[in-house]
Structure 1
Amino acid sequence: MEGLQQLLYLHGVGYDYVKYTGEHVVFDHQTREQALRACGIDIHDERRIEEKIYQLDIAQWQSVVEPVSLVDELSGSLAIKVPEHSRIFTGLLSIPSLDIDYRFDTSQCKVSGEYRYKGTNYLEIQVPLPSMPIGYHDAEITLPLGKFKTQIWTTPKQCYRAQSHKQVGVSTQLYTIKSARNLGIGDFRDLEELIVCSAKAGCDFVLLNPLHLLFNDEPDRASPYSPNHRGLINPLYIAVDNCRWVENNTEFTIALQQAFTALEAHKRQPYIDYAVVSETKYALLSLSYRVFLAEANDTDKLAFSDFKLKNKALLKVLANDDFSLFCQWLAAVQLESCQRAAKDSNMAIGLINDLAVGCAKDGLEYTRNSALYATDAQVGAPPDPWAQNGQDWGLPALDPIKIRHDKFEFFKSLVKSNLNRVGGLRIDHVMALRRLWWCLQLESGMSGCYVYYPFEHLLAVLKIESNLSKSIVIGEDLGVVPPEVVSAMKESSLLGNILFYFEKDEHGRFVNSQKLRKDTILMIANHDVPPFKGWWGANDLQLKQTYNLLSKTDFEKESADRHIQKQLLIEWLNEHQQFGFDVHSDSNAIYQALLAVLALSPAHLLCLQLDDLDQQILPVNIPGTDKEYPNWRRRLDHTVPEMFSNHTDFIKNLTQLRTSHE
């Protein structure tokens, strides 16, 4: 059916892709049809198919302006579509918020596109616009044909860039931080201590895990990458002992001391028990809320009211639950205080937040925005060396057409809320701006295909919000990245992400440090791979065997491969400098030498993982596991001051190496 093929294209359902092996794969027709069904389309109703084609194609040319009009900040022009026989006229563009009433003559406008339908030629013409500030501007266009509304997005060429010199920073999973004063989970007061210590060592940023709201009624659902709501903050990160109104309250002081005593043994355990921590912290937060209502000063109460008013649209998902709103305000205040501490410590960037690729299908974010999602489609990944059958992440898939009809308000809200109060944002799986792998259930079993999204508009949101907040943006681009995403990231100053473990040439050797990409954040490891000490000692392989995640044969095979990788790393180090290491050398000496070499690379940002400074061997997460391994729970062994007392001079040396080789 020719119409069905056209609709598949217009709806963004992919036809083919290049596998990680280089193999060209064409998606089977049944899978592609199922993707359309997931978008609520009856593929057997020819009349309905024709209606959808008309809406997505022809109607776009019969509408004078799109609901959203992208306009370049510097050389911008507005695209309007008119019948050719009505091509010459004088029009008026009105933007009340900018006090603009701009008249234009289309006889001077260039034609940029053409479409013919039922004997009528439609032209797309470009109307030059006056200078406008970056942002979103509601506009009305008056023509002889009538009045038409659009939202003009004045879009900069690039995302915001901080200081141009090479920088060093640290990354942490905040919940893993150990301290004498916290309640069994790292919190914003611990983060402030990390900021101060790392700034003294010369660091310019702290990269965080997603701080998204999880499930307080199901505390064991601990993954920050499968959250309840990405626009809200997890209250477990609140430092309950850091609130003015409880400082002199006897009841709270006693309750806090009792909590410390009750958690003393638990804090010595290697893994967080979220049920225990959550019950304790929410009880204290509830008490803090009651004290706030009774004893807080007028300034704090007014600040809380202002927060609710300014964030009314986002916070309505909490259904006027004033305690939950209080927790969101308190979390936002403490996060903002951390960023202020970073800037006061002369960090160039400060905090870098992390935006997960999706949300849980039973969480607040999904249930309140379910109209924007496809049904019976989940986000995942195609087959790769680590998952030969592909991956189903269990995250619901946004419908690309529905988010366009929503004028991208949902995505704008997510980006804005995650850029608030920080100096940067990491976008997990940035390829999702262009395409996502949909996991679909067929009668024959599970299948999957790529579905494409309005990349230009989603990227425009990042560029606009980045510049408005003066925050950098990092796109996690690990894996197979479409070439159009690679080029767009470069043109947009959207930093990429390099994991040293994965940077190899066609012969399987580690890439020379001077050949690494410039516009990136470079790190040895992240939350999905083992810490360096664990990798060097193959502890991750032993752990997988212990949890029956590797057969004896696979363990032996991967152990042999790890030995080869260690030899290749030694060769790589010696190519840069004759260190004299061998595969039996101390892991910390290897780690420090590796970072010293990477510090001289062109990469804009060099990131040290707190797990590595702590010399962890246990991973915080083993991808592909759920209940098998206690993911997202493993604590650090040392406090932040302890770690930096051993590494401050080393980190200072790295920053000096970076600045001396600009």
Structure 2
Amino acid sequence: MGLARLAELHGVATTFSPAKGVTVAVPDATVVAVLAALDIDASTPEAVRAALDRAERAAASRLLPRTVVVWQGPDGERAGVPPVLTALPAGTTLRVTTEQGRELNWTTPRRTDARNAAAATADGTPQGTGPAPAHGAKGQDGARVWQQLPPGVHRLHVVAPDGRGTDAGLVVAPARVPGPDGRSHGFLVQLYSLLSARSWGMGDLGDLAELATWSGRSLGASFVQVNPLHAAVPGAPTDPSPYRPSSRRFPDPVHLRIEDVPEYAYADPADRRRLEELRDRAAKLRESVLDKDALIDRDAVWELKAQALEIIHRVPLGPGRRAAYRDFVAEAGQALEDHATWCALAEVYGSEWHDWPAALRDPRSPQTAEARAGLADRVDFHSRLVWLTDEQLAAAGRAAREAGMEVGIVHDLAVGVHPGGADAWAQQDSFAAGMSIGAPPDAFNAHGQDWGLPPWRPDALAASGYAPYRGLLRGILRNAGALRIDHVMGLFRLWWVPVGSPPTEGAYVRYDAEAMLAVLVLEAHRAGAVVIGEDLGTVEPGVREALSRRGVLGTSVLWFERDWTGDGRPLPPVKWREGCVATATTHDLPSTAARLTGGHVELRHRLGLLARPLEEERTEETADVTEWLGLLGHLGLLPEGVGDEEGAIRAVYRYLLRTPARMVGIWLPDAVGDRRPQNLPGTWDQYPNWRLPVSDAEGRPMSLEELAASPRLHRLLEVFAARTAPPDARPS
């Protein structure tokens, strides 16, 4: 009982529900390990009693929660005094220090006369509470002071008459994130898979700008959604997954278009010849990738680009460029210095910082400072690469806006970072040591999942005023028209698995979802960006509703949209939620062509991934597809007939347009009949995850130029020609 209570006080769940009506207890050993990762000793009954006593005394002494959230009204009107403050003891002094450094002070009133007490009782306000005249000459009352607070993350300090004091974060946020104007459509693509005649063996930011310009101007697309462009962990080979990065705070320079770096044109003659040689080698690499059955070789691409960037780095920056670079470095501050230092140290000691000399494992040690000084040129090189990549990300965003895109580039935020990478090294105090996040066992995966990513500590986030989270959001939103958040349920809780334990022996750890949402809404509002949450899979009750209240769009995939509370049949389009991005598939799922033909079942069978006999899987999949095709035909969306694969794909997207979804995402490989998934969960070296170029129905890789000229793609996009019409007025 004591362990359960201690876990509850620290947001650690001692049970979970893998299915409706089923409750499973978390092993005590797991609870003890999770608490240890939060610096709570629960290793013995005596330790539990001592920790519980400390926790309960601390909770009783706090006048406020660690973070107070204030939501502004829907039209941006000033916030009133939050209820948690009106409940403070009479005579409590309050001081707010705003983000901008301004201080505001006031005191809750001491109501001593009977008339005030009666009035307080009559209006429902507890006696001895509410705003009072502030200390000092201003004479403002608390309500007026409160209304002066700008949106932001502030600090609040309160002192009760008995001398108890409490510090708390104070987040003042708009009511909702910005929403898209009207209804829109756009492409979903893994950027590395989109090669043009100018890229160096994988898609780059020049290709992204080109795709945005073409699709916005010629096809009326409102957005392009890409995979995470976070910095990867260097290695041999590099992990190609964009969802296990070294850093989520900074982008990966492998995405640079080398020729678009301004200094490229000013290399001296000898260096220019060397750059041309590298460019020729890159052309051969690109041609090899565009051959049938070839794969994207990220390491080979980076080897060429790294050599080119070393040459370009020798070109002096002009006065204006140098000033811009210095401003960027100053604005990025300590975070960029840490990232560049990790990159420089990784070149010397390897990319797993846990294996570095002990003193260098601490980013704040004197030895690390000394090493940074000794590697100053390399630190500058890696800082410069971040700046150059940021410039090209900004250029892609401008290209999208200039092409008339209403939303623009949709960037993707991975759920976590590699434990050996730059963020985990630089922000060690914010991550839970010895823990990995994943998913509990459920009806789809009896073994659970371990993603190998360290979780943020909720207590450390709150103590810092959510500084790591805010910095992460601000960095990725600076060049985004919208942000997709992978596994958005992680804002509420995450499944922590002690390293070395199976994922079945994990526990949910809860975060302050109100604070996490408030910071997200605040930063998205400042950036003017739409927010999309990937809310597929097991979602606890209330999460989708909470996200919807704040304007965060969900993700709805056609094959999963069924009436799960009723007969289980496909959900009619009119019953889909409006606040979502409606899609036919994602990077982790079969393409629509593979789904319609059953090709994905055959693929999983060849790789030994089926949990049941092949015929059972085929029968179930055929029944599922047949039911959907029957509905599409019944709605008049399949004039080509069920035997026409290309027509059936168009019918699927006609169906998506019949829903009220605010955004409809077109999986770019669907437009040319690609049958291969970009990622096949449950595989590592059995399948070329994250290394496939976009290909046609025969498996022939297609360049961006070929895609733009594809008759099949244009036939699909004709379905979207009337995209501005309401759902029931759209032609079928």
Question: Please, what TM-score do these two structures have when normalized by structure 2?
Answer: 0.82
Match of 2:677 in 1: 619
**More divergent stretch after superposition (500-509 vs 230-239):** 500-509
Amino acid at match of 2:233: F
**More divergent stretch after superposition (433-442 vs 343-352):** 433-442
Match of 1:188 in 2: 205
Note if contact 1:567-1:582 (Cα within 8 Å) is conserved in structure 2.
Answer: no
Match of 1:316 in 2: 337
How far the C-alpha of 1:482 sits from its partner, in A, is 1.3
Amino acid at match of 2:18: K
Instruction: Find the aligned partners of 1:394 and 1:443 in 2 and give their Cα distance.
Output: 12
- The 3-state SS of whatever aligns with 2:519 is helix
Match of 2:258 in 1: 240
Counterpart mapping for 1:50-61 below 5 A: 50=49, 52-53=51-52, 56-61=55-60
Instruction: Find the aligned partners of 1:76 and 1:48 in 2 and give their Cα distance.
Output: 43
**More divergent stretch after superposition (269-278 vs 358-367):** 269-278
Instruction: Find the aligned partners of 2:233 and 2:672 in 1 and give their Cα distance.
Output: 29
Deviations 1:561-618 (A, max 9, x none): 22112211211102311635665x2221101111112112111110001111132111
Match of 1:114 in 2: none
Pair 395,93 (structure 1): closer, same or farther in 2 beyond 3 Å: closer
Give the aligned length.
645
1:334 aligns with 2:398: no
Deviations 1:80-111 (A, max 9, x none): 77998x62367665658375645444348999
Pair 204,484 (structure 1): closer, same or farther in 2 beyond 3 Å: same
Instruction: Find the aligned partners of 1:89 and 1:212 in 2 and give their Cα distance.
Output: 46
1:274 to 285, 288, 298: 298
Pair 623,442 (structure 1): closer, same or farther in 2 beyond 3 Å: closer
- The 3-state SS of whatever aligns with 1:483 is coil
Pair 89,224 (structure 1): closer, same or farther in 2 beyond 3 Å: closer
Note if contact 2:200-2:283 (Cα within 8 Å) is conserved in structure 1.
Answer: no
1:35 aligns with 2:31: no
Match of 1:303 in 2: 324
Amino acid at match of 1:24: T
Match of 1:554 in 2: 613
Instruction: Find the aligned partners of 1:123 and 1:370 in 2 and give their Cα distance.
Output: 44
Deviations 1:613-661 (A, max 9, x none): 1321111100011121111000112223432333346435415144343
Amino acid at match of 1:76: G
Which runs of 5 or more residues in structure 2 are unaligned?
73-77, 118-125, 132-141, 342-375, 695-700
Amino acid at match of 1:635: P
Note if contact 1:197-1:641 (Cα within 8 Å) is conserved in structure 2.
Answer: no
Counterpart mapping for 1:386-401 below 5 A: 386-401=444-459
**More divergent stretch after superposition (369-378 vs 488-497):** 369-378
1:170 aligns with 2:187: yes
Match of 1:642 in 2: 706
1:525 aligns with 2:585: yes
Instruction: Find the aligned partners of 2:667 and 2:230 in 1 and give their Cα distance.
Output: 20
Match of 1:457 in 2: 515
Question: Please, what TM-score do these two structures have when normalized by structure 1?
Answer: 0.90
Pair 92,537 (structure 1): closer, same or farther in 2 beyond 3 Å: closer
Counterpart mapping for 1:504-543 below 5 A: 504-506=562-564, 507-543=567-603
Match of 2:431 in 1: 373
Structure number with higher strand proportion: 1
Instruction: Find the aligned partners of 1:143 and 1:616 in 2 and give their Cα distance.
Output: 66
Deviations 1:111-140 (A, max 9, x none): 9xxxxxxxxx99997764123322123456
Amino acid at match of 1:449: A
Instruction: Find the aligned partners of 2:503 and 2:596 in 1 and give their Cα distance.
Output: 39
Pair 442,193 (structure 1): closer, same or farther in 2 beyond 3 Å: closer
Deviations 1:175-224 (A, max 9, x none): 00021110001000000110011102111111110111002334431100
- The 3-state SS of whatever aligns with 1:437 is strand
Amino acid at match of 1:241: E
Note if contact 2:432-2:456 (Cα within 8 Å) is conserved in structure 1.
Answer: yes
Instruction: Find the aligned partners of 1:266 and 1:233 in 2 and give their Cα distance.
Output: 26
2:549 to 491, 514, 519: 491
Instruction: Find the aligned partners of 1:181 and 1:660 in 2 and give their Cα distance.
Output: 39
How far the C-alpha of 1:287 sits from its partner, in A, is 1.4
Match of 2:12 in 1: 13
Match of 2:628 in 1: 569
Q: Give the alignment's Cα RMSD to 1 decimal.
A: 3.1
**More divergent stretch after superposition (64-73 vs 334-343):** 64-73
Deviations 1:506-556 (A, max 9, x none): 3443211111111001100001101111222222222223333347x6322
Note if contact 1:83-1:122 (Cα within 8 Å) is conserved in structure 2.
Answer: no
Counterpart mapping for 1:57-136 below 5 A: 57-64=56-63, 68-73=67-72, 74-77=78-81, 87-88=90-91, 93=96, 95=98, 97=100, 99=102, 101-107=104-110, 128=143, 129-136=146-153
How far the C-alpha of 1:57 sits from its partner, in A, is 4.4
Amino acid at match of 1:33: V
Which runs of 5 or more residues in structure 1 are unaligned?
112-120
Instruction: Find the aligned partners of 1:268 and 1:617 in 2 and give their Cα distance.
Output: 16
Note if contact 1:72-1:154 (Cα within 8 Å) is conserved in structure 2.
Answer: yes
**More divergent stretch after superposition (177-186 vs 634-643):** 634-643
1:651 aligns with 2:654: no
How far the C-alpha of 1:146 sits from its partner, in A, is 8.7
Instruction: Find the aligned partners of 1:93 and 1:624 in 2 and give their Cα distance.
Output: 50
Amino acid at match of 1:267: V
